[in-house]
Every structure is written in C-alpha cells, then in structure tokens.
Amino acid sequence: MYRRVIIVLVASLLLAQLSLVPCSAQGVGKLRIAALNCENLFDTIHTEGHQDQEFLPSSQRRWNTGRYRRKLSMLAREIASLSQTEPADLVALVEVEGDTALTDLTMRTRLRRLHYKYVVTHGSDPRGINVALLWQEGAFRPLGINTLCWQQRLGIEALTRDVLHVQGLARSGDTLDVIVCHMPSQYGKKHAKKLRAAITKGLRAYTDSLLSVNSRANIIILGDMNDSPHSKPLRRGLGAKIIDKEFKEIKLKDSGNGLFNISLLRSDPHHPRGTYRYRGNWEMLDQCIVSGNLLNSQSHLHLAPTPVRIVNHGFLLEGDKTYGGVKPWRTWQGPFFRGGFSDHLPIVVEFEYNL
C-alpha cells in the first residue's frame, strides 16, 4: 500500500517537473540560408550569343581547364564551410554562367557528398551571367520556379540579369518564397541607378502580389544588391526597412505586409563590416531582406536571435597591401589571375522553428 502511494507521488512530481520545462527544451530546428557572389564562374566553352570570349583558353585571361577546376574546387570548399555543424540548407549564388558550371560544381567536386540540387536562370545578360539556387535534398522541395525578366515586365531596353523566384517546402513544414537577385552594377553606365530603381520597384510590386495572396508569406530575398542597405533603390524602390540595432521582435500586426532588410543584424561585431572591400572600405553589398512574418517569434519559422553572419574564414582573406587590414582573396584583379575564392564574402542567415 505504502509502496503504491510512493510510486504515485514520485510520478506526480515527475509530471509536475516536466510541465515546467519550456517548449524550447523539446528541441529547436535550424534552417540556414546562404548567399555568395562567385565572381565570374564561367566554364571554358563558348556559348553562342554570349559575350564570354574573355573566359576562354584563347583569351587574355587564359581561362583554361586547370584554372576552371581550381575555381570549382575552391568554391566547393567555401560552400561546404558555410556552417560548422551542418551544411547550409539553401545557397543563393550569383555570377554563375549556367548549367555546365553548376553541374560541375555540384557533381564533380566535394559538394557531391552534400547532395545539392540546383536551378539556374537563363537570362539575357550579354555576358551570360545568371543567378542560381542550391538546396539540399530533404531540406527543401521546390513547388514552383519563376524567372523575372525585366525587359518583358518593365519594358527596359538594357539587357540585365533576371531574378529567380523559387517557391518550395522547407523541412520545417513551412512554404518559402526564395528570391535570388543580382542587381545592375553601380559602375560603367550612367543609367545604372535608374535601372536599379526601376528593378527594385518592379520587385516590390511582385512581392506585393505574393503578399496579397498570403499576408503571412515567408519571403526571403537574397543576393548581391550592388548598393548599400541605406540606398534609395532599396529603401524607397523596394521599400525595405532597415533593422540595424539589437534585434527586437516586431509583432506581425506592426510589420504588416512590409519588407525588412536584416543584413546589418550581424552576430559578431568583430567580423568585417561588409562583404566587399573597395579602396579600403567595407561595403555590405550581399544582403538578405525578409517579409514581416519571419520577424515574428510566434510564427512557426522565424529569425534566430542573431540571424546574420558574414563568413570570414582566414582562408577566404588576404592582406591588403595598399590600405592595410584584410580583404577577400579574389580570383581576378582586372585581367590578372590571383587564384583566390571570390571578391565577395558570403553571408549566412539563420532561422528557427520548434520541433
């Protein structure tokens, strides 16, 4: 009798203790999405209609099989190192030529062991530069793929890079709208600012259409914006509000259907202040912009407390002899082969969900 009572009491105490354990103790899942500018990932074969002659074995750059394989191997090492625990679930890539380069990267390097799949645009950029999205099998399943061609949508005469939109189901059970961008460069053309302004306005209209269908859409815009988060095209054209201080939850009712640039929410103040270095100054060109639902900790999938990290492994950097400090170890300095990884550092954005 007493033994039975003791057992009941012990069981009651255990249940009481378990009821005090927070939900987070049951486990928190992580979803990691990265963005990387590959700095001219071209294959060595001419593609009809593309101005890719500078990346051929006969060109001044002497872009031959040996250099191409070295570039692939280094990019594979960089992508594999984006997370110290598990590989990045999705990786947005810009400055890639096409299927040949993406197949070689995912199937003929160490990345083959990580089972990445990919989709790449086939846009009208004169040089044949495109954007792509890699995803790990089991981490993400595409449901729909759309390419935004600005010449057709906005009637822009200039040939520029397309934007990639992949809607898919993440392993968390959430539907994601992942949009990969490579905005026009700031340099070389006087109308570049107007072009970026037109494209950012067009992209905002496109994301508004997604939010009109589902106000809780999980929109994640990644890539090389070729501009500061504070620039007019991003703040006014795209309407992306900047969050640049200690992260505080923004309730869904306050965020509405807004877009928020989280690129300055970096987790380590000792990391570089940007992903690209120009004349000794760091610039945050590679960015992540999300819809309001992902800022709400009550949403099933939401930003981690310190969501953005600039990957600055020592092997990605070299000394800056001109301005001091360090800079990304790039592949090219003008037409001269430097043999590095890229002129940009990658970023990793971390999301959480309860298991």
pLDDT on residue 52:
94
Confidence of residue 248 (pLDDT cuts 50, 70, 90): low
Token digits for 136? 């790990």
> Tens digit of pLDDT for each residue in 138-161?
999 999 999 999 877 777 666 789
Of 184, 82, 171, 94, give the one whose Cα is nearest residue 131. 94
pLDDT on residue 269:
67
Mean of per-residue pLDDT scores for the chain? 88
Confidence of residue 39 (pLDDT cuts 50, 70, 90): very high
Fold of 31-354: Deoxyribonuclease I; Chain A (3.60.10)
Asked if the model's pLDDT at residue 355 lies above 60, the reply is yes
Asked if the model's pLDDT at residue 23 lies above 70, the reply is no
pLDDT on residue 4:
40
The residue with greater pLDDT, 229 or 185, is 229
The rounded distance, in Å, linking the Cα atoms of 180 and 165 is 7
* Percent of all residues in the chain with a pLDDT value above 70, rounded to a whole number: 86
pTM exceeds 0.75 for this model: yes
Mean of the pLDDT values across residues 16-28? Answer: 47
pLDDT on residue 186:
72
> Tens digit of pLDDT for each residue in 97-136?
999 999 999 999 999 999 999 999 998 888 999 999 999 9
> Tens digit of pLDDT for each residue in 179-211?
999 998 876 566 777 888 889 999 999 999 999
> Tens digit of pLDDT for each residue in 287-324?
999 999 999 888 999 999 889 999 999 999 999 999 99
pLDDT on residue 77:
98
Tell me whether residue 59 is exposed, middle or buried, using C-beta atoms within 10 angstroms of its C-beta: 0 to 12, 13 to 18, 19 or more.
Answer: middle
pLDDT on residue 9:
33
pLDDT on residue 89:
98
Angle, to 10 degrees, between the axis of helix 65-80 and the axis of helix 99-107? Answer: 60
The rounded distance, in Å, linking the Cα atoms of 95 and 48 is 18
pLDDT on residue 202:
94
pLDDT on residue 208:
96
Q: What amino acid is encoded at 276 in this protein?
A: Y
* Percent of all residues in the chain with a pLDDT value above 90, rounded to a whole number: 72
The residue with greater pLDDT, 83 or 9, is 83
Asked if the model's pLDDT at residue 8 lies above 60, the reply is no
Radius of gyration of the chain (CA): 22
Mean of the pLDDT values across residues 52-69? Answer: 95
